[in-house]
Amino acid sequence: MIKVKPLVSIIIPTYNRAHLIGETLDSITAQTYKNWECIVIDDGSTDNTSSLMDGYLLNDSRFQYHHRPKNRLPGGNAARNYGFELSNGEYIQWFDSDDLMHPEKLETDVVNLQSGNYDFTISQSDFFDENGKIKNKYWNENLWSNEALTDFIKKNIGWGINSCLWKKSILINVRLIFDERLQNGQDYLFNIKALLENLKPIIINEVLVHQRNHQSKIEHNTIKSKSKYLIFSYLLKKLNNKEINEELKNYLIKKSLKILRNLYKTKNWKTALIFSFQLSKSSINGKNIIAIIKLFILGSFYKLTSRGYSYL
């Protein structure tokens, strides 16, 4: 009796990437593993993404094209979550609309995921420029360590969201979805949540994803500041009163104080006050209450007078 290979759901959010997504979809069509569905979720494109997708839908029934519902927050995370809700696969592959899969990516992942009691795979990525030249050989040379949570948060180890293949049942069981409020750092938080749930990966030290380096990255300071606040606010809540090593504790408070300072600098007054209160109550805080008070005073002065930026 022939064993049916499990269906892999590839979920791709896209926004105005008609000039790039074709290469991405071609790399999916070229997969040696054939039992997949590819769900493209349009986040509101105004270019010719729709007409380009028509060709792929006509030529291959494994492709789907949907639009993010208007009652969902704009952004790739809501698109990913919506794609997940539509998916039928046993396995989930998140992917970006400007990157490329190695031809054996899915096949390698499926074989490894089925080789033991694992929840997801982790493989390597490299980075290429607009001329196809490799710019960085690895996302991070180290994919795993004995202190995975600490080292991932500190970015001593790391991997991209494209690099993993997930068991869908596990994601459902632990209710692991993307935070739709984030516009930056969403894959960082997603993977942290997986580590906090003690999900078990199998490590594949091969480059299976080629990521495109280009200029359309989110760099706006206000967006980055808000996203970092949301991520570290989550960590402070999740790790409060938990036994964590001093290395991680010191890192969290150092980064949190920096985030708090930047919230005051960007005049996110309400968020800064909320985060100040959370920091002051957190068990991670230690003896840093004086620093929090100083930031509050300097932030208040800057808020009222628009002066004192350098002191912040």
Q: What confidence category does residue 312 fall into, taking pLDDT thresholds of 50, 70 and 90? A: low
Q: What confidence category does residue 136 fall into, taking pLDDT thresholds of 50, 70 and 90? A: confident
Query: pLDDT: is 312 or 167 the higher one?
Result: 167
Rounded to 10 degrees, the C-alpha dihedral 19/20/22/23 comes to 140
pLDDT of residue 49 exceeding 80, the answer is: yes
Share of the chain above pLDDT 90, in %: 68
Question: Residue 115 in 3-state DSSP?
Answer: coil
pLDDT of residue 134 exceeding 90, the answer is: no
In this prediction, residue 218 carries a pLDDT of: 47
Radius of gyration of the chain (CA): 21
pLDDT of residue 15 exceeding 50, the answer is: yes
- Compute the average pLDDT of residues 242-260: 90
CA distance 60 to 34: 12
Averaged confidence pLDDT in the chain: 90
In this prediction, residue 282 carries a pLDDT of: 85
- pLDDT tens digit sequence for 258-306: 998 888 888 888 898 888 888 888 888 766 777 667 766 766 666 677 7
- pLDDT tens digit sequence for 78-130: 999 999 999 999 999 999 999 999 999 999 999 999 999 999 999 999 999 87
pLDDT of residue 165 exceeding 90, the answer is: yes
CA distance 56 to 122: 29
pLDDT of residue 1 exceeding 50, the answer is: no
196: how many CB neighbours lie within 10 A of its CB? 16
In this prediction, residue 273 carries a pLDDT of: 86
H/E segment holding residue 67: strand 63-67
CA dihedral over 207, 208, 212, 217, signed as positive or negative? negative
In the Cβ-directed half-sphere of 257, how many Cα atoms lie within 13 Å?
19
CA 272 to chain centre: 24
The backbone region for 295, taken as left when phi is positive above 0, alpha when psi lies in -120 to 50, beta otherwise, is alpha
In this prediction, residue 299 carries a pLDDT of: 66
pLDDT of residue 72 exceeding 70, the answer is: yes
In this prediction, residue 176 carries a pLDDT of: 97
What's the pTM value of the predicted model, to 2 decimals?
0.91
In this prediction, residue 283 carries a pLDDT of: 84
pLDDT of residue 309 exceeding 70, the answer is: no
